[in-house]
Amino acid sequence: LDIGKKSDDLTGKYEKQYTSWLTFESEFNTFRDQIIRDLEQRANSILSNDVNKIFNINKMTAVLNELKILDDDIRHQTSNYNHLHKQLIELRQYSSTDGQRSIHNEQASIETRWNQLNKQVSDKV
């Protein structure tokens, strides 16, 4: 009877962990594959305009406004980035050696892209 209860307790616990992992993976993939990519594409599009070579004041104002909006959008996503970063650190302790390596590589990749994006935009704002 005790074994059956323990088994039920563990099953519930593992199902909850598995569901949490799937939710995290979905959020992480969305952040990596959609949000960061969209912000990077917008940054590349905006930054392809050399503000020093724009002689039309309206065009210059439009580019600077787009840059400010992009900077605001990046700031808005910072809490999501920090949340995912914290979750990755927590997941490492429950992962195998290969899983830890994979998590580390994903974390390093996202961190590099995020920092480059922030630097690109903040240098121009």
Domain that holds residue 85: 2-124
26 or 94, which is more confident = 26
CATH code assigned at 88: 1.20.58.60
| C-alpha closest to that of 120 among 61, 53, 74, 89 | 74
- Amino acid 9 reads D
Mean pLDDT of the chain, nearest integer:
87
- Amino acid 18 reads Y
pLDDT digits (tens, 9 = 90+) for 63-119: 889 999 999 999 999 999 999 988 888 887 777 888 888 888 988 999 999 999 999
| Residues with Cβ within 8 Å of residue 7, at least 6 apart in sequence | none
Q: Is 92 helix (H, G, I), strand (E, B) or coil?
A: helix
Q: What is the pTM of this model?
A: 0.80
Number of domains in the chain: 1
- Report pLDDT for 4: 67
pLDDT band per the 50, 70, 90 thresholds, residue 32: very high
Distances in Å between the alpha carbon of 3 and those of 6, 12, 13, 16, 94? 5, 14, 15, 20, 24
